[in-house]
């Protein structure tokens, strides 16, 4: 590491980052502060090689644009190197166990990132099995339960907009219709479990079939109670959007039908009116912002008029994925 770089705290050095729930509020604050500092250095063109000669393996069971590129670019900018591994090109496709993979890859480098998000009950437990046998941090690039780098970037973006004190602010997390595929539940679950911890009132909206995992709902309710904020569930977008400061409408699948995606997509057709359009945005506060983890199904989840409007923050939000990835890598590896 360059002598001119400020030394980072060792608070979470060597730690896994599998769910935001695994880190305390103070540890999340450290990640956010480090991300903000790294963002300034990046913008000013100042070298910040906190990870010289270090290697992270990026293991993907699912497709990616932002996650893969934020990790690969981020590792390079930190002075390290990221190896991309598609699961179907590895021996995992032939049955290699997560135990063996954890032992072996951790003997080759300094962290393992995993994306395994499409089947409820599989991804998170797979990552934790790798982590149990790895000697280096395991980082969750999205699982069935949480997308902790996305929601960290979301919180960073919200704070850039409204400041660090978010008490009294309301975020509407809503299901929205999309015909493309049955999307993971991890983003809405990550939002409802993280945002109450940092002062936001959360309203979750979805049709009756699109409930989130019981464990995540219970955690969100507990977090809201402990932090003196609201967490409520409604059955329509209008109620969720009313007087909201932040709206985050996106599609997700039906937990019991992830093995029958065609059936889930057929059910979703009943709810094509669940779209974020200009009429819905009129229900929000004047300064409200629209967010989405991307890619958004334009014309279905959201209209072009909204996603391309001055209220949209999807591109700064996507950019912040780079800085939160770099922050957690620099602090843990």
CATH number at residue 328: 3.40.50.1370
Q: How far is CA 63 from CA 67, 88, 295, 311, in A?
A: 9, 11, 12, 28
240 and 289 together in one domain: yes
Q: Are 263 and 257 in contact (CB under 8 A)?
A: yes
209 and 252 together in one domain: yes
Owner of token pair 């934790």: 128
Sheet containing strand 231-234, strands side by side? 231-234, 201-205, 170-175, 246-250, 289-290
| Category of 279 on φ-ψ map: left (φ > 0), alpha (ψ -120 to 50) or beta | alpha
130 and 214 together in one domain: no
Q: Would you state the pLDDT for residue 166?
A: 98
179 and 311 together in one domain: yes
274 and 310 together in one domain: yes
Q: In the chain, how many domains are there? A: 2
Encode pLDDT of 23-61 as tens digits: 999 999 999 999 999 999 999 999 999 999 999 999 999
Nearest to 220 by CA among 292, 171, 281, 258: 171
- Whether 4 is in a domain gets the answer no
191 and 270 together in one domain: yes
3-class state of residue 232 by DSSP: strand
169 and 257 together in one domain: yes
3-class state of residue 246 by DSSP: strand
Owner of token pair 């609201």: 230
Dihedrals φ, ψ of 213, to 5°?
-60, 140
- Whether 68 is in a domain gets the answer yes
Encode pLDDT of 280-290 as tens digits: 999 999 999 99
174 and 281 together in one domain: yes
Q: Are 291 and 316 in contact (CB under 8 A)?
A: no
Nearest to 330 by CA among 44, 50, 6: 50
129 and 187 together in one domain: no
Dihedrals φ, ψ of 17, to 5°?
-130, 85
* Positions in the chain whose pLDDT score sits under 70: 1-3
Q: Are 130 and 113 in contact (CB under 8 A)?
A: no
Q: Would you state the pLDDT for residue 93?
A: 87
Pairing of strands 231-234, 246-250: unpaired
Measured distance CA(57)–CA(189) in Å, rounded? 26
161 and 276 together in one domain: yes
Q: What is the DSSP letter of 142?
A: E
Measured distance CA(201)–CA(192) in Å, rounded? 9
- Whether 13 is in a domain gets the answer no
Q: Would you state the pLDDT for residue 4?
A: 80
312 and 324 together in one domain: no
Dihedrals φ, ψ of 166, to 5°?
-100, 5
- Whether 11 is in a domain gets the answer no
- Whether 2 is in a domain gets the answer no
| Category of 23 on φ-ψ map: left (φ > 0), alpha (ψ -120 to 50) or beta | beta
Q: Cβ atoms within 10 A of the Cβ of 1, count?
A: 14
Provide CB contacts within 8 A for 148, sequence distance 6+.
Answer: 17, 18, 19, 20, 140, 190
| Dihedral sign computed on CA atoms, order 157, 162, 165, 168 | negative
Nearest to 58 by CA among 117, 126, 122, 139: 139
- Whether 12 is in a domain gets the answer no
- Whether 3 is in a domain gets the answer no
How many residues are recorded in the chain? 333
pTM value is 0.97
- Whether 184 is in a domain gets the answer yes
For residue 46, give its domain range.
20-147+320-332
- Partners of residue 231 on adjacent β-strands: 202
24 and 107 together in one domain: yes
């Amino acid at each position: 590491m360059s002598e001119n770089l400020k030394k980072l705290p060792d608070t979470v050095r060597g730690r896994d980052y599998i769910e935001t729930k695994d880190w305390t509020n103070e540890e999340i604050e450290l990640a956010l502060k480090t991300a903000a500092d790294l963002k300034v250095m990046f913008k000013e063109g100042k070298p910040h090689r906190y990870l010289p000669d270090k290697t992270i393996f990026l293991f993907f069971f699912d497709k990616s644009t932002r996650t893969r590129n934020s990790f690969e670019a981020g590792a390079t900018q930190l002075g390290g190197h990221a190896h991309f591994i598609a699961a179907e090109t590895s021996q995992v496709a032939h049955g290699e166990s997560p135990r063996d993979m954890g032992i072996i890859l951790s003997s080759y480098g300094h962290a393992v990132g995993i994306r395994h998000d499409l089947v409820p009950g599989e991804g998170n437990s797979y990552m934790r099995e790798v982590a149990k046998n790895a000697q280096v941090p395991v980082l969750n690039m999205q699982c069935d339960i949480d997308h902790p780098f996305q929601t960290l970037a979301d919180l960073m973006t919200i704070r850039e907009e409204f400041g660090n004190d978010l008490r009294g602010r309301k975020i509407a997390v809503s299901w929205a219709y999309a015909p493309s595929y049955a999307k993971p539940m991890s983003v809405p679950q990550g939002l409802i479990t993280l945002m109450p911890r940092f002062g936001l009132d959360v309203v979750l909206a979805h049709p009756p079939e699109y409930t989130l995992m019981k464990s995540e709902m219970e955690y969100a309710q507990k977090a809201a109670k402990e932090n003196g904020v609201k967490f409520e569930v409604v059955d329509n977008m209008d109620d969720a959007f009313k007087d909201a400061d932040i709206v985050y409408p996106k599609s997700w699948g039906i937990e019991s039908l992830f093995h029958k995606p065609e059936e889930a997509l057929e059910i979703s057709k009943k709810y094509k009116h669940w779209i974020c359009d200009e009429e819905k945005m009129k229900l929000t506060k004047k300064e409200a912002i629209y967010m989405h983890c991307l890619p958004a199904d334009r014309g279905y989840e959201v209209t072009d008029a909204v996603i391309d409007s001055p209220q949209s923050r999807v591109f700064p939000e996507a950019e912040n994925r780079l800085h939160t990835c770099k922050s957690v890598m620099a602090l843990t590896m």
